Structure formats: C-alpha cells, structure tokens
Amino acid sequence: MGTEEHAAMSAGGDSDCYVLGFQELDETQVAVVGGKGAQLGELSRIEGIRVPPGFCVTTDAFRRVIGQAPSIDDRLDRLSRLNPGDRNAIRELSAEIRRTLEGIAMPDDVATAITLALARLGEQAAYAVRSSATAEDLPTASFAGQHDTYLNIVGPAAILEHVSRSWASLFTERAVTYRLRNGFDHRKVDMAVVVQQMVFPHAAGILFTADPVTSNRKVASVEAGFGLGEALVSGRVNADVYKVRDGEVVAKAVGTKRLAVCAAPAGGTQEQTIEAERQEQPALTDAQVVRLARLGRRVEAHFGRPQDIEWCLVDDGFQIVQSRPITTLFPIPAAGDGENHVYVSVGHQQMMTDPMKPLGLSVHQLIALPTMHEAGGRLFVDVAKRLASPATRAGTLTALGTSDPLIGDALQTILDRGDFIPSIPDDVAGGPPAGGAPAPIETDPAIVAELVERNQASVAVLERDIRTKSGTALFDFILADIQELKRILVDPQSMRVIMAGMEATWWLNEQLEAWLGEKNAADTLAQSVPHNVTSEMGLALLDVADVIRPYPDVVAFLQQVEDEDFLDELPGLAGGREARDAIRAYLDKYGMRCVGEIDITRPRWSERPSTLMPVLVGNIKNFEPGAGPRRFEQGRREAWEKEQELLERLRALSDGERKADDTKRMIDRVRTFNGYREYPKYGIVSRHFVYKQALLAEAERLVQAGVLRDKEDSFYLTFQELAEAVRTNEADDQLITRRKDAFRSYQALTPPRVLTSEGEVIAGAYNRADLPSGALIGLPVSAGTVEGRARVILDMADAEFAPDDILVTAYTDPSWSPVFVAIKGLVTEVGGLMTHGAVIAREYGLPAVVGVEHATRLIRDGQRIRLHGTDGYVEILT
C-alpha cells in the first residue's frame, strides 16, 4: 500500500486508521476490524488457501461516525435495560438508532480512505460489503446472520452507502436481541466493515469441519448449491449434503435445487430458476468434495478449532470467503492418548447440568471415587473400558440404563456399531463388575441410626479442627479430610444399606407387577420413610411457616425481601424475633444446601437466604398450621394402607402366604433403608460448606494483599492453583479473566448425556410406541396421574405456586425439596429412577416423570397438562 493511501487512511491523526488490507490483519485485531475481518486476514496467511482480495473499514471509522450522534447515548442506556423478550420495544428503539446512524454523513476523510482503497483494487469491480462486529465470529459467540451483508455492490458511491448501512446493522432487532440474551454490552461492541471482491461461482456453500448434527470432529459436512451461497445460507434452496470421513465421502444426499442466487446486472442479486435437467444434478463431484474437506482441515488446524466455512467454486478452484468458529459444539475431555473413549455425564446423574467453576470442578474431582474428566465446565466418567470387557459390560449397561434409559440406549447404540469399542480380555478392564451385589445386611433401623450419628460426629470434628488452620496448612488439612470423606463414602456398611433399599425397591416393583399387575408399587410403599434428611428439609420449612403465619407484618416484609441483611431487620417487627430465630434454626441445619450444590462455589442458603423466601411465603399462604406433621403422617398412613392391601391380595393367590411373607420382608427393608439414600450427599454438602468458608477466608486475605480483585475470583482457580496463590502470594489475573469468559460461554452449551472422544453426541431414545399421539416421553419415577397448570420454573427464587400447579424444570437436586410440598406433580428434563428428585417425589407421594427432553421449551408456562407418573409421559391439554 502506497504512502498516499496510508495518508488517506490516517487522516485526523495517526491514532485513526480507517482502512486496512487483508494482508495487514491477523486474529489479534478483532478490536480494530471485528471478528469477520480478523478471520479473513488470518485466512489470507494460510498457505494453499485462496481468499478474494479486499480490505476492512476499521472500528475507528465507526466510532468517528457514532461520535457525531450524541443522542445515541441515551438510547443505548434505554436499550440495555430492555428485556430480551420485549420484541416491540426492541424493534422500535433499534429502528430509531439505525435511522440516526444512516442519517449521519460519512466524514470526508473516511470516505477518501475507502475510495482510495477501492481504486487500488479496481473501483468498478463488484464487491461484497459485510458487517464485521467486534463481538462476531468469536470462539464463544458466532453472531451468525445477526448483521447485514450486501452482495454485488458496484461503484464507490454505492459502496460508501452500503458501508453506512452495515454500521447501522449493528442495531438490527435480531442483533440487539442476540446481545441482550448473551450478555454483551451494546456500548462495548463496535462495527467494522469488510469490503471484498465478489467472485461469481459455479457452486457455493458451507463446509463444517465437524458434523453439525452429531458434533463428530472426524466427520466434515459439506452443503452445496449452484450460484452464490446466499440462497443456501438463507434457507431458500435444498442443498446437496455430503459427509466426509478420512478422505472419503461416506454419505451423500443430493437436493432438488430449483433456484440459484446470481449477480444482477445493475448490482445486487437476483434469483434465477435452474433448468429442470440440472435441478437434481450434484453441485460438486465427490473428488471436489474431498478436496474441499481437505482445505477445511487445513483451515481448522490453523485456527485450532472446528470451523464453519463459506466457500465458492470458481473455475474448479475453491476460494474461501469467510470462516468462523463453530460455537455450538460441546468440548471434548482432553485425553491425548489416541484411544477411543466414551464419556457419560456426571451432571445427569447428580441432577445438576449447569457448568461448574474451576474450584468447584477440582474439589468434586478430588472427592469423586471414579476418575472424572472435565469439558465445557462439566464432569464426565469414561466407561469405555467397562463397555469393552465382557465381565463388566452388562452390569454397566444395566446400572446406567436403569438409572437413565437415554444413557443406556446411547451406550447400546455405540456397542451395536461394533467398531468403536473393541472387546478386551476381562483382566484388562480392572475393578469389580458394575452393580456387584454387596454382602447381605439385617433389616435393623439401628444400623441407619449409627451411620447417621457417625457422619454427624465426623462433620463436628471437621468444624472444630479447621478453625485453627490457615495458609498452606489449610489446604493440606482439607486434602486429608477429603480422604476421611472418601472413607465414609465407601464404608461397606453404608454401601450395604443403600443397595439393600434399592434392591428391595426393584424386587417389589418386579414381583408385584408379575403377581398382581401392580405397576411401581414401591412408590407408595416408600412414602414418609424415616431418616430421609432431604424430605425432612421440605417439611421443616412448613414448620417455619407455622411460626411466622400469625404475624402479618412479618409476612408482608418477607414478600418484599431484596437483600441478604433482612434477618437483622426482623426484630423491629411484631413477631420478628420469633421469625428470625425460626429461619436461623432452619439455616443452621439446612443452610449448607443450594441449587447446584455439588459445585462448592454456588451460593448456599446461609449465604443467600432470600432464595428461600418465595417458597416460605408460599407455604404461609397455601397451608394450614401443622401441615408438616400432617403431610408426613398422611404419607405414612397411605404406605401402611397400601401394604395391607397388597398383602391381602397376595394371600389370595396360589402360594400366597409365602409371597406375602417375602413381600412383607422387602417392604420392611424399603422402609428401614430407603431414607438413608439421601444422607451421604448431605454429608458431602455439609463438608463442602465448611471447606468453602475456610477457603473464602484465605481468598479474602489475598484480596487484602492485592493478589485478587475479589474473593470470588478464587472460584476461577482450581483447588491446587488457589493453594499455590496462597503459598506464593501471586495469582494470574489474565487466567482468571479467561476463565470467566470461558464460564460464560459454557452457560450457553447443553451438556450431552453421552459423548465420544470423537466429539460425537450420542442421543438415546426411549423406544416406546404405546403412547398417545403428541405425548412427551420420559421416565416414570413416582406413580400417579394428575392434571394441573404447568409452572415452567428454571430458578428456585421464582418458585411461587398455587395448589393446582405442576412444576416443569430442567432438574431438581435436593435443594428443590422444599418446593415439592407445594406442587401437584413434577416434570424434569434430567433425572433417573434413583436420582434425588425421584426419591423425594416418591416419598412425598408426588407423581413425577423425569428425563423429558426439552420439557421447559415444549411446555409453556400456564398450559394445562396431564402427567402420567406411572407410565412415564406428559400430555399437553391446552
């Protein structure tokens, strides 16, 4: 680029550079030329990749223009306060901003810089004018299709006009909504513009270097059509679709391509009908597809991640006009050994599929008994070796499939392929068979009482001893205590109790259906069992409501709670001391719990008691005094009556006395042991909170020393990294910032139940055909059929219910139990037969269906639904 051109592009001072050629750009210059511009500059540097020439109008030019519209500041403030769902307000305000920007005359020096760059490339050539925002084509957010692109623009005047339009497209309704939904600050996003010579291809389309349907990183997907790629990108034509693996086309579907988008003689584009004999001809030969996929792998290798590439075929040569990261792929756990792995989601077993912060991930990995692998802020267990060994395969499939049929079916799908999991000798797999039967145990309630007492005593010792620990000694102490926790978790007696309850439940369901045709009989028999700390937690909040209900001033105050200091304000109200003491007593016993509690970084109820107030106020309004004890006694009575009914029916059968005696023994085991099922997690979470308080005290010391900006920045370090920061009084602030950005991106990802080391997401199915048309299929975990109003709730803080309501949510870990007393039924997207939500639903006699995929999207808040908890499906009635 010549001296004259540099001068034109730098008018107004060296700090303002208005035009940069592709050859001057790389991926570090997103702030200057936007995501698309930076990607094109980087693409131009890759050997063997042809990119049509062009330049970028930089964000300096955009800021120069927007600076001439001071009224925009107020509008941006208003825009940032809008709800992403308020489409009318977004439409009106964004249109105002666009009109303002389009009405500003382009400064002469900016226009001169652009026209000089055009003269260098050929000012009468045709160009594509594309927006390139600084929050676009990023690894964490693509913004694909959110801003405007103009094709076949000819002549300097037209190009200047379309550059102005591209600036204004930063405020299209769709772009504004996308930023609001993804947490991007409108003021921090600038717009550059790409001006790139047009190519007029025989064929064009999109290449995904990872399969966009299955996420398999080893399969490239090519979509192709005739003419410009615009028809394909906008969905106006049925494209040819090719799948390429290991240099070979492994699948091909040729679409009927009735039209193509071509350049219009006067500029712009026009649709053109394709002759009938060409409509079903492939746009590319197989050899061309393979060659294109090979180019895609080269681009992917350069950027270090799978790419979504727009390509054109011109004279049998491919040109790349755009490449962006595929942001929807779920990351793969890093193995690095070249072996095949099958990863099963831990979150789906723990009823918490949200991403975890690094400290939470690392602490859970330290506590977990199997080795856990991290990806996308979630944890996974590799079951490949267990599936490979004949000795452990069946047990693994049974255990995981019984808990979650979708996981079981996905694993069976992998095995049925026959080529991903090789069979290995039994001795290679290691470990006992999954689900192996423990030694028998007597049906003795004292066994459970002793286990609970030992666990409580162990936590009390931890609370006492940790007070004297600080600095690096604290981290050594916690590591030692985690070994104590592991010892408790694998205690043979504890394992025998849990397995005895589960096996008795399975026995009852299987035998009573065979003998009496009674489905899921154990659901009713397991109501109101003793020692269930999670169900007791829900009933105890009803007792707190009883204390507060007589004091209307306190009730009114609790309805308006907004901060976490409200407990200190209660004594100023009539009945306030009683209310405060009752809430504090509840928090003393259960305050270590919270939604997503397996992540140590999540705010506990003791730290954020306002979370419980909507549920507590709902209990005050919707229940009469004494509801907690009555609810427990009602469940106990229903279980006893069901037991008597079943035993009487059994005695009337052939060999009835033996069947009744066997059934009675199993019922006793269910009622003796099932309550303890929830206790180990209560013990883990109790310890979590003790650890957390001590670690936050260390983080606060790092803040005082200027090592951390905020004590919660410690959540973005692993346990080991935080220990090192305490030891050295140093922390990597940039690492923490990167981790925060990564965590935000992980929140937009949906974790798969099953994922392979090739990145393929294996989706299981229920494989049931005996259901009404339109029914939403799930797993029956608590018997009964109910109709009611669907309440689609994703945050427990929004949990306000009427007696007719059925809760529909993503997942329910133990912290949701206080809500269960207030609802009529439960539908979740995640869950299994023995996960916490299912156990508590059965104990409360609450009909429930879990594992209903996309339930929170398919069911609208307020719709009437019918929930079939016995047969495992949901009908939408209105």
Q: What is the DSSP code (8-state) at residue 337?
A: S
SS3 682: helix
Residue 186 known to be catalytic:
no
Backbone CA torsion sign across 852, 858, 859, 864: negative
Backbone CA torsion sign across 837, 355, 308, 858: positive
Residue 371 has a CB neighbour count (10 Å cut-off) of 9
**Nearest CA to 491 among 459, 462, 450, 522?**
450
**Which burial class, exposed, middle or buried, applies to 324 when counting CB atoms under 10 A from its CB (0-12, 13-18, 19+)?**
buried
Q: How far apart are CA 231 and CA 258, in angstroms?
A: 11
Angle at 807 between CA 802 and CA 809, to 5 degrees: 145
Q: Which long-range contacts (CB under 8 A, 24 or more apart) does 389-392 make?
A: 389/423, 389/424, 389/425, 389/426, 389/428, 389/429, 390/423, 390/426, 391/426, 391/429, 391/433, 392/429, 392/431, 392/433, 392/434
Strands (E), 295-354: 307-314, 317-325, 342-345
Residue 735 has a CB neighbour count (10 Å cut-off) of 13
Active-site choice (341, 531, 688, 836): 836
Instruction: Walk across the sheet containing 378-382 and list its strands.
Output: 373-375, 378-382, 342-345, 754-756
Phi, psi of 728 (to 5 degrees): -100, -10
Please answer whether residues 413 and 374 qualify as being in contact, where contact means their C-beta atoms are separated by less than 8 angstroms.
no
Instruction: Walk across the sheet containing 19-21 and list its strands.
Output: 19-21, 54-57, 191-197, 126-133, 149-154
Residues facing residue 754 across a β-bridge: 344
Phi, psi of 405 (to 5 degrees): -60, -30
Buried-exposed string 132-170: b where 16+ CB fall within 10 A, e elsewhere? bbbbbbbbebbbbebbbbbbbbbeeebbbbbbbbbbbbb
**Residues taking part in catalysis:** 836
